[in-house]
Chain A
Amino acid sequence: MYRKAVQHCGLQGVYTLNDNQRNVDVPIVFYCKATSEAEANRIHQLVWNQDVTPFILVETPKMIRLYCGFRFSSQAGDDRARGLLEAAIAFNEAAERLSALSAEAIDCGRVWDVWGSEVTTKTRVDWTLLKNLEDLERELRRQGLDRQASHALIGKFVYLQYLRQRGILSDRKLERWGLGSADIFSRQADLAAFRELNRRLDEWLNGAVFPLNPEAIKPSHLQLVAGVFQGDTTAGQLHLDFEPYDFSFIPIETLSVIYEQFLHSPDQGESNRGKKAGAYYTPLPLVNYVLNELETRRPLREGMRVLDPSCGSGAFLVQCYRALIEKRLARGGRLPTPGELSELLTGHIFGVDRDGDACQVAELSLVLTLLDYITPPDLENTQLFKLPVLRNRNIFKADFFDSASPWEEASRGLRFDWLVGNPPWREFSRGDDEDRHMRQWADGNRKTNPIGGNQAAEAFVWKALPFIAKEGIAGLVLPAMTLFKIESEQFRRKLFSCVHPWRLANFSNLRFTLFSGRSKHPAMSLFFSIEDKNGALTQINTFILSFAPFAVNQRANRQGKKREKDTWNLIITSSELAEVSQSEAAAGCAETWKLAMWGTYRDKRILQRASNRFPQLTDFLKAHGLTPPHEGFQLRDPGKSKEPVEYIPELRDKKKIDFSKLRDCGRIFAFPKRVITPISPNETYVRKGRGALPMSVSRPPHIIVDAARRFAVYSDHFVAVPPRQIGLAGSGRDKDILKALTVYLSSDFVTYQQFFISPEWGIRTARSTLSALKCLQTPLDELSQADIQEWAGLCDELINEGDGGKTVSPRLITELNERVMKLLGFTISEQFLIYDFVRWNMRMIDGMTPNELLGSPSRNTLSDYLGILKNELDAFLGDQTGFHHRVEAMHDKISVIIAISLTTDSQDAPRIYHADEEAAASLRTTREKLLKQHSQWLYFSRNLRVYANNALYMLKPMERLHWTNRQAILDAGEVIAETLGQPEA
């Protein structure tokens, strides 16, 4: 990529976000030199085609121009739409006008405040090209060409254009085949010449790519497509602009993904074929992340084999192949010969997919990668060289589970050093013939290889394991729900017991961005090696390093107002790392991963403590003779219901709650009148046999608990509990205890506890479950009868004040929470951890990045944080030592540096300085020094801690989220942990 940009775009330098430790290198700015304005525009076009960097600075003899690397149009009206951000910057103005692109501004994140809104991924080359291809297809369809032929014709032309612009399909090559370029690449394209070219190409490149039915295509279709690719901007009623594309610059990997998406795009009225197959095309940042992680662990080198058992268009394989070539190039200092390139491919790269189109794209992409390294790429100077045949030697069109497939035969005895891929994420079907091999294999191996439900990805993991070599490693993209869903517990137990996982990246919080809206399923990457012959865990594998990036911390990729945005980079922030012991993972419990993502060891302790001390809700209710919790009615209109229904006479003339009107209601203690509606006579039916239990919890006195645990409402009236919502009930004499329970259920602790023990909440949904509520620790037995009455009185007060769904006063909410915390016996620190989690952390669910979290903290907030930090640290030392912590902070608009050292002065209070203050001179010097050493800490370590001169220095961003009381407690814990872990001086 860089090499090409140096050769063709006058690239002089690149500013990147660089994390050597994790092999991460994200280009931010290309700095290029051009001899003219026209050349500058051409450079912009080429770099846009490369699709790698958000900003391009081009210096011309007269001035400097700033372009957006993700937007280009030759047609659009104004500069911005064309991707030109600053057209003319005189050299003497450059420092001022480009200050947001200085190294310092990039490092401190200011670049995104100034230019972030310009990094719109929808105008990137991949999305633009895909849209253009789909528009062109629509026009062909309008002109009578069927879908398959349209796909094949367009696909073929992308491919031809690519070969042409890369110089693979050179004039001399065409000439040798008796063809003229105008016969193919012009609006006068000739069908006979086109067919001949295809025949020749299929012969040369070992196989028909996008086979065409010659009879289906008319000259007008061909000429339309050829014309559009040559720059005709109108096609029928469409306005198309293919001129910006330079296929010699679009990375092969990008093209493969576009191809595959295009081929799988849905026909009108059809579901997406790719989606049906569970194929979510792996975004390149994710592919690169997986491969970087493997590379860090066991670098890919010659002699090692790579297998992708569900290779799709070959995104992983192409990158691996390229890496092998680049390593050879770096080692040998010369381009490998065609024969060597062929050997590198056939000896190392293997893939399987049952989708023939995908296999063809994978093969083509690999061959084109090979040709990328041959000069001239048309092979006219090396005519004896034959391109390798990959089909059924390296790329197998086969069902990975079919014991009679060509893959099964060819792979016998083969072992692989890298297992990579993104296996399909879907439930394999009982009735679908296409799934029969997987189904049979899974059914036959369920005991030894348990699978949650019929999840295909889990079956792939088991089936692929035996192919991993003894020293081999794996990096797989899997559905993140594998970690959380109850059905996969056995899978987790078995897998984490029999492999050595060393890293797990849980991308749940990026689910709206990672796949650019094509899929919203949460993803994870799991990295492991297989068990060695001793069945041993080595030291490095005792803990799994778990990483769960939050959208809010992806500084260079932070979402704007719209949540669905493309991902162009993926950065690991060390503050989002957690360790999970392998033995804990092997217990199969979903809570482990929930805590690893959202919680900390402190939350684990809080939950454990509550769990050890108090009975579960079901036991509490049973002991008090109250009705167990149950979900509400699924009311049915017998005229519309497809299921058998039964009439419930008691529902006549009763009320129900319309929960659809309670979307943004927050914590309420009484339902607004507008949501209480009569049950119509048609709705007095329920699914047969599903009436008794919902009825038992709908009778008063009862509590209706919201599925999302936003509220619990006590009622003395019959209200039909809605579906998915939960009801609890008792008799007339239980009113007080039910009211006390309502107070408890409305507390922050219950929200907190339910969040952590509900497998899908915060991962895929914003709901808890009935079983989570049943497991809720309930401390009300600690209350005396008088206490219960007091609590019931509080409930009445809340109901009165909250009548009609009104917001109740903070005073009452505080009283409610304080009562609950006191009853549970939580310390002040534990209370902070709980309150702030509910108030701040839970606002980040589903990748949300609310402004309140990102705004600057006030001085009071800083002061509170520092006070709590100091108290926590002092508590660790206790009163006996005579030592205390001195805590000083200095801040500007972007960051805060905190210095922590020891003192014997017990009265030493935390101090806050602004960066301008004279007294902050010493801290300012230290910060400058630290920033020099860790200039990109904001991206890679959002809570940087450095020890120097018997003090600890912390650098933190000036974002509210990092200055909560909870964070102060957690930071103190990390300071203690890290200080203890420091090597002896």
Chain B
Amino acid sequence: MTGNLDMRQIYVAQLRIHAHELIAGGYRLLDAPSFATQEETAITGELVRCMKEFMESNEASGWAVHYDIAEDPPLNVAGRLGKSRPRVDIEFLRTGAPGARPRLLFEAKRLQQSSGHTVGVYLGRDGLGCFLSGKYPITHGEAGMLGYIQSGSESEWSNKIEKALSDHGERYGVTPPAFQPRQLCSLKHTYLSRHHGRQGSGYITIHHVLLLFH
């Protein structure tokens, strides 16, 4: 088969897969349990450092050279200047030539019930809400959420997230099915949800990656 395949669409799918692979590669290099009580910024910093180390290692695939990873980069949003610009936790962006740079943004949140890092916070204004409200600009209708699990298991948290999205579908602009497993890389606990943005920005696909840190 040839001729009718949309190159862009297939390349963009690769961007999504590669971002997940880089997260997986970086996570593998981390001593995850040692972050059981760490703040979210400390974990993100270390995860990004490890992702970069992975990219430079011989283990990384050839495609890794086409990406850059930025930690806590300011985002260009109309009307927001300088230090008032919003910052996302992790940004995967393609490199290689001048011009438009599609990027996949990931917002990270700790998940630890006892210290108040709940699903509500994960899905709230400063979590998933950043994408749904349009606070973070996205380039091709996709973004990601990283859940740093510091208590309980991945399944427990994925169930809680699914329940919250199902129970409050309207609040989160959920398009059913609310929360589905979607394995894009060697990580097992990756999921997908679809939402409609609040500012008429069309549908947004959110990739959820749950990483165990205890």
Residues of A within 8 A of B (CB): 532, 534-539, 542-543, 545, 577-579, 600-602, 605, 608-609, 612-613, 825, 827, 829, 872, 875-878, 880-881, 883, 886, 900-905, 908, 947, 949-952, 973-974, 976-985
Q: Is the CB of A980 within 8 A of B102?
A: yes
Contact of A534 among B6, B11, B81, B141 (CB under 8 A): B81
User: Which among B11, B15, B100, B141 has the highest number of chain A CB atoms within 10 Å?
Assistant: B11
Q: Is the CB of B82 within 8 A of A534?
A: yes
B42 CB–A CB distance under 8 Å: no
Residues of A within 8 A of B94 (CB): 976-977, 980-981
Residues of B within 8 A of A579 (CB): 98
Interface Cβ pair total, 8 Å cutoff:
128
Residues of B within 8 A of A602 (CB): 65
Contact of A542 among B12, B61, B76, B96 (CB under 8 A): B76
Q: Is the CB of B5 within 8 A of A901?
A: yes
Query: Closest Cβ of chain B: how far from A934's Cβ, in Å?
Result: 17
- Decide: A876 near B63, CB < 8 A? Known: A950-B3, A950-B4: yes
A875-B63, A950-B6 known; 18 new pairs, CB 8 Å cut-off, are A532-B81, A534-B82, A534-B84, A535-B82, A536-B82, A536-B84, A539-B76, A578-B98, A605-B56, A875-B61, A880-B17, A881-B10, A881-B13, A905-B1, A951-B7, A973-B66, A980-B12, A981-B97
Residues of B within 8 A of A532 (CB): 81
Residues of B within 8 A of A (CB): 1-15, 17, 56, 58, 61-63, 65-66, 76, 81-84, 94-102, 140-141
Q: Is the CB of A977 within 8 A of B96?
A: yes
In the complex, A542 Cα to B99 Cα: how many Å?
A: 12
Q: Is the CB of A984 within 8 A of B140?
A: yes
Q: Is the CB of A977 within 8 A of B62?
A: no
Contact of B7 among A609, A952, A977 (CB under 8 A): A952
Residues of B within 8 A of A886 (CB): 2
Whose C-beta in chain A lies nearest to the C-beta of B58? A825
In the complex, A872 Cα to B96 Cα: how many Å?
A: 13
Question: Can you name 14 A-B residue pairings with CB atoms under 8 Å?
Answer: A537-B81, A539-B76, A542-B76, A578-B98, A579-B98, A601-B95, A875-B61, A881-B10, A950-B6, A952-B7, A973-B66, A974-B97, A980-B12, A981-B100
In the complex, A535 Cα to B81 Cα: how many Å?
A: 8
Q: Is the CB of A981 within 8 A of B102?
A: yes
Residues of A within 8 A of B84 (CB): 534, 536
Residues of A within 8 A of B61 (CB): 875, 878
Residues of B within 8 A of A878 (CB): 14, 17, 61, 63
Q: Is the CB of B12 within 8 A of A608?
A: no
Whose C-beta in chain B lies nearest to the C-beta of A537? B82
Contact of A976 among B11, B82, B140, B141 (CB under 8 A): B11
User: Which among B4, B5, B12 has the highest number of chain A CB atoms within 10 Å?
Assistant: B5
In the complex, A578 Cα to B95 Cα: how many Å?
A: 11
Residues of B within 8 A of A979 (CB): 7-8, 11
Contact of A977 among B2, B10, B97 (CB under 8 A): B97
In the complex, A186 Cα to B72 Cα: how many Å?
A: 78
Q: Is the CB of B5 within 8 A of A950?
A: yes
Query: Closest Cβ of chain A: how far from B131's Cβ, in Å?
Result: 18
Query: Closest Cβ of chain A: how far from B148's Cβ, in Å?
Result: 26
- Decide: A905 near B10, CB < 8 A? Known: A579-B98, A984-B140: no
Q: Is the CB of A980 within 8 A of B63?
A: no
Q: Is the CB of A984 within 8 A of B62?
A: no
In the complex, A947 Cα to B9 Cα: how many Å?
A: 13
Contact of B8 among A539, A883, A985 (CB under 8 A): A985
Residues of A within 8 A of B140 (CB): 984
Residues of A within 8 A of B63 (CB): 875-876, 878
Q: Is the CB of A877 within 8 A of B4?
A: no
In the complex, A32 Cα to B63 Cα: how many Å?
A: 56
- Decide: A980 near B2, CB < 8 A? Known: A542-B76, A829-B62: no
Whose C-beta in chain A lies nearest to the C-beta of B8? A982
- Decide: A876 near B14, CB < 8 A? Known: A539-B76, A829-B62: yes
Whose C-beta in chain B lies nearest to the C-beta of A538? B81
Residues of A within 8 A of B11 (CB): 876, 976, 979-980
Query: Closest Cβ of chain A: how far from B10's Cβ, in Å?
Result: 6
Residues of B within 8 A of A829 (CB): 62
User: Which among A577, A872, A903, A981 has the highest number of chain B CB atoms within 10 Å?
Assistant: A981
Residues of A within 8 A of B96 (CB): 600-601, 973-974, 976-977
In the A-B complex, the 3 residue pairs with the smallest Cβ-Cβ separation, listed nearest first, are A536-B81, A536-B82, A981-B100
Q: Is the CB of B98 within 8 A of A545?
A: yes
Whose C-beta in chain A lies nearest to the C-beta of B55? A605
In the complex, A592 Cα to B7 Cα: how many Å?
A: 32
Q: Is the CB of B82 within 8 A of A977?
A: no
In the complex, A979 Cα to B101 Cα: how many Å?
A: 10
